[in-house]
Amino acid sequence: MFCHPSLVLVIINQPNRASGSRYARHSAQLSSSHLCDCASTIMGDIPAAAKSESASFSKLLTSHNLRQLLDSVDAFLFDCDGVIWKGDVLIHGVPDTIDMLRSMGKNLVFVTNNSTKSRRAYAKKFQTLGISVREDEIFSSSFAAAMFLKVNNFPTEKKVYVIGEQGILDELESAGYTGLGGPEDGRKTIEWEQNNLFDHDKNVGAVVVGLDRHINYYKLQYATLCIRENPGCLFIATNLDAVGHMSVMQEWPGAGCMVAAIRGSTEKEPVVVGKPSTFLMDFLLEKFDIPTSRMCMVGDRLDTDILFGQNAGCKTLLVLSGVTTLSTLEDTANHIQPDYYTSQMPDMHKLFGESVK
């Protein structure tokens, strides 16, 4: 059933609906925005006490405002970690939602700050998980780093030193650049002698720093020397995420950790190419003839995904299946408010189902 405001009272009178008690509590101050909150919502995994408090500005996604969102958006940009999957485990219900959006003719883009894989490797991961996604629908920060060099006419005869994983090296190679460092330097150590002169390639013209699970002092010194001693050497950060889901069980230090380390040793500020920088948006705008006001960014992080969407002028939907909790969203210290929030991305499919019953 599609929930027009005029039909809301029908829903309210159904005592089994999740939001019934909520309506009763707020009935004295109903407004059109409150009416929307009384429609069907999916917040089953959030404690009852938390449910009673909505964020100051964000609206809980309902079967009603989802329809409004679907009507006003032509492209959905999805973060991956914490939205599509957690680690290598697919979030249940994602394929149905993707199929639904494709059947509606929506453009889909998968935007991830995780630089450990190339777009090709991500396309394989999607395939393994049973989701059909084309390489050109994927925008990873590894790809963004290579594209940043490309659009800035970084000369191919210069080299790029990488603190990060294979994804960055692969994207650099695809763009015609020579990458150094990365996984190979994870095995290198330094012999500490008083006359030790650490040699570095004076032809390195850019350092790209992303998440690196094999970070060591060798790489820190190499990158530091390039930035401090090679004239004009660029310092590019794939992203600044403090933590990420490297396993499904907990959060682990993200690229923000490695980038901060190089910021600490060089006292220089990086250029950030991943979210929330709008650098990637240029590619999306070239790809689709769609204004950003008809795009919606769906993500689990306020300071990257939601800010990225807002910086670009997109609509925004926060999912609480990743790093952000409802209490973080509602904390008075948080000033980043998405347009909508819901527990997880497949709620879109479920809520749409509710609305057409």
| Nearest distance in Å: CB 4, a copy of itself | 43
Nearest approach in angstroms of CB 353 to a copy of itself is 30
Q: How far is the CB of 273 from a copy of itself (least distance, A)?
A: 17
Residue 31 or 189: the one with the smaller Cβ distance to a copy of itself is 189
- Please tell me which residue in 45, 74, 81, 136 is annotated as part of the active site: 74
Tell me how far CA of residue 28 lies from CA of 25, 34, 57, 116, in angstroms. 8, 11, 19, 52
Q: Concatenated DSSP letters for 308-341?
A: HHHHHT-EEEEETTSS--HHHHH-TT-----SEE
Of residues 59 and 219, the one with the C-beta less far from a copy of itself: 219
Q: Are 300 and 245 in contact (CB under 8 A)?
A: no
Is residue 274 within 8 A of residue 144, CB to CB? The reply is yes
Q: Which is nearer to a copy of itself, 16 or 194 (CB)?
A: 194
Pick the closer one to a copy of itself by CB: 215 or 273: 215
Residue 74 is among the residues annotated as catalytic for this protein = yes
Q: Shortest gap between Cβ of 196 and a copy of itself (angstroms)?
A: 4
The binding site for a copy of itself (CB under 8 A) comprises: 87-89, 190, 192-198, 212-217, 220-221, 224-225, 228, 240, 242-243, 246-254, 256-267
CA dist 60 and 349 (Å) reads 15
Strands 75-78, 295-299: pairing is parallel
CA atoms within 13 A on the CB side of 157: 0
Query: 47 — phi, psi (to 5°)?
Result: -55, 150
Catalytic annotation, residues: 74
